[in-house]
Amino acid sequence: MIRAHTVAAVREAEAPRLTAGEPLMARAAFALATRVAAELRERGHRVSGSVVLLLVGGGNNGGDALFAGTHLARRGCQVHAALLGERPPAAGLAAARAAGVRVHEVLAAPDVPGAVVALARAAGVWVDGLTGIGARGPLRAPLTAVVGALAAEKAASPDEPVVVAVDVPSGIGVDDGALPGPVLPADVTVTMGTAKPGLLLPPAAAVAGRVEVVDLGLDGDLAAAAPAVCRLAPADVADLWPVPGPADQKYTRGVLGVVAGSQAFPGAAVLAVAGAVGAGLGMVRYRGPEVPTGLVHARHPEVVAAPGRVQAWVIGSGIDPDDAARTQAMEESLAAALAARLPVALDAGGLSLVHDDGHPDLPATVVLTPHAGELATLLTARGEEVTRADVEAAPARHARLAAEITGATVLLKGAATVVAAPDGPLYAQADATPWLATAGAGDVLAGVLGALLAGYGDAIAADEEGRLTALPARLAAAAALVHGRAARRAAGQGPDGSGPGAPITAQDVAAALPGAVGALLR
């Protein structure tokens, strides 16, 4: 699992070590130089003779860059430093000069962005040391124009140069993942001590590239500070996955009640069920009208259409809230779930059940699964005027707000999926592929989540002391990981999303689920 800590937590962890004179910057800079050298080698370049440009701001982030440049110069790189802060870090500058780094006072140039771009065009690596955790708000002039010009250069030739961000890509919202102004998208971010929330949260996570965490020896101090954002890795999901044992039978593995699909949208029923059975569980009980029931049975003859005991529910995929009969079925199932303390995935039309305060204080065992547009509608219905664009600009903040207002856990779908509970860390999963942006993919996710919730349903229902309140958020993040990985598999991409892939349907994603789960457990 990757854990990200806020700027305040990092500062608190660093403070006693800096007072004690621990050479944190030296460690950071050495690791940064090592990473730059590795990037050069991985791209088939010799380290010696390569041209590296350091973009140096006025704080310690620029200091990291300068000391790393010192190491690289000693290893034979031709290192240039563009000084872009009013007061460049003195110790780093002296060390860099002594090691033969060529220093450019570009702020004195008549055309600052032009002067930096001229240096950048000659370099194979750009090291972004403009701002780190000391940044406040969007980048200010002249950095705005410099970064804008460099970003345009990089966009024109994405393979060369390699952009390595120091700690964070300068200009992102370090704690909230916002993109308040221009940034230079990185290929790799070398982050110090621990990941930062903005490296995991959308939209900023998309400009961080691969994130490499440098061990500064802060782990012990940070272990006491709760992470602000987590990202599950496949091994974490394998640990959580309900793997049946010899003593299991279908009822102990978990039975999922599915109230999805309608005469108007019968396909959603098939897809939600396909997600659940593909993820693996004891049994699905389907509750719906004739047309979707027939379709579900045609695809999944094992599904039981009779009422009976369940351990979790999926409610709402493919249901129009104006369909009175289906809305009544949704209400009845939600009420039954709440009375029995069973977990619920509330999807699509099911979200309308919480548009008013008919259920004023949901438990965190109810997981809402909106996309950005649905979350905007939900929040607006609950008195917070927001648009889809507002949600997309700050997904984590809006997911958390919805969790606080409703009491539920909120899984917000998108290119990266964010999960927020009223308390506890956020989760940010980026395991999917843009090929997954296709109709019905969300119904499959609801089914996957339902299967996981059913596996833990009895434990959650029996949890009187509230020891498992953090579990639904973790299970939701796990569902997003498996769903995303199944999509990559279906699209013919590598587990890390490598390769161009190919078009997929929601059914393809469901069909790839057993293989994706199996690969995790291996």
Ligand X SMILES: NC(=O)C1=CN([C@@H]2O[C@H](COP(=O)(O)OP(=O)(O)OC[C@H]3O[C@@H](n4cnc5c(N)ncnc54)[C@H](O)[C@@H]3O)[C@@H](O)[C@H]2O)[C@@H](O)CC1
Ligand Y SMILES: Nc1ncnc2c1ncn2[C@@H]1O[C@H](COP(=O)(O)OP(=O)(O)O)[C@@H](O)[C@H]1O
Q: Which residues bind ligand Y (CB under 6 A)?
A: 371, 413-415, 417, 432-434, 436-437, 439-443, 445, 483
- Site membership for ligand X, residue 85 (CB under 6 A): yes
Binders of ligand X in range 14-33 (CB under 6 A): 14, 18, 24-25, 28
Distances (CA, A) of 330 to 73, 304, 314: 66, 18, 9
Residue of 470, 3, 1 whose CA lies nearest to 219: 3
User: Which positions touch K ion (CB under 5 A)?
Assistant: 61, 128, 165-166, 170
* Six-digit token string for 493: 């991409």
Nearer to ligand Y, 89 or 349 (CB): 349
Annotated binding site for (6S)-NADPHX: 60-64, 132-138, 167, 268, 318, 371, 443
Nearer to K ion, 165 or 446 (CB): 165
Residues facing 79 on adjacent strands: 52
Residue of 229, 275, 183, 509 whose CA lies nearest to 395: 229
Task: Count residues near ligand X (CB under 6 A).
Answer: 27
DSSP H helices, 2-135, are 7-19, 24-42, 60-74, 90-98, 112-121
User: Could you say which of ligand X, K ion, ligand Y, none residue 440 binds, taking C-beta under 5 to 8 angstroms by partner kind?
Assistant: ligand Y
Q: List, edge to edge, every strand of the sheet that includes 409-412.
A: 2-4, 229-231, 426-429, 417-420, 409-412, 366-368, 344-346, 312-315, 255-259, 283-286
CA–CA gap between residue 454 and residue 246 (Å, rounded): 19
Distances (CA, A) of 285 to 222, 253, 294, 339: 45, 14, 14, 19
Nearer to ligand X, 166 or 446 (CB): 166
| Smallest gap from residue 374 Cβ to ligand Y (A) | 8
- The residue whose Cβ lies closest to ligand Y is 442
User: Could you say which of K ion, ligand Y, ligand X, none residue 128 binds, taking C-beta under 5 to 8 angstroms by partner kind?
Assistant: K ion
Widest CA span in the chain: 80
- Site membership for ligand X, residue 202 (CB under 6 A): no
- Per DSSP bridges, beta strands 229-231 and 2-4 are antiparallel
Annotated binding site: 60-64, 128, 132-138, 167, 170, 268, 318, 371, 413-417, 442-443
- Site membership for ligand X, residue 134 (CB under 6 A): yes
User: Could you say which of K ion, ligand X, ligand Y, none residue 439 binds, taking C-beta under 5 to 8 angstroms by partner kind?
Assistant: ligand Y
* Candidate segments 55-63, 115-123, 156-164, 363-371, binder of ligand X by CB under 6 A: 55-63
User: Could you say which of K ion, ligand X, ligand Y, none residue 14 binds, taking C-beta under 5 to 8 angstroms by partner kind?
Assistant: ligand X
Distances (CA, A) of 220 to 14, 191, 193, 425, 460: 11, 17, 11, 19, 31
Residues facing 129 on adjacent strands: 56
Nearer to ligand X, 167 or 431 (CB): 167
Binding site for ligand X (CB under 6 A): 14, 18, 24-25, 28, 57-62, 64, 85, 131-140, 143, 166-167, 192
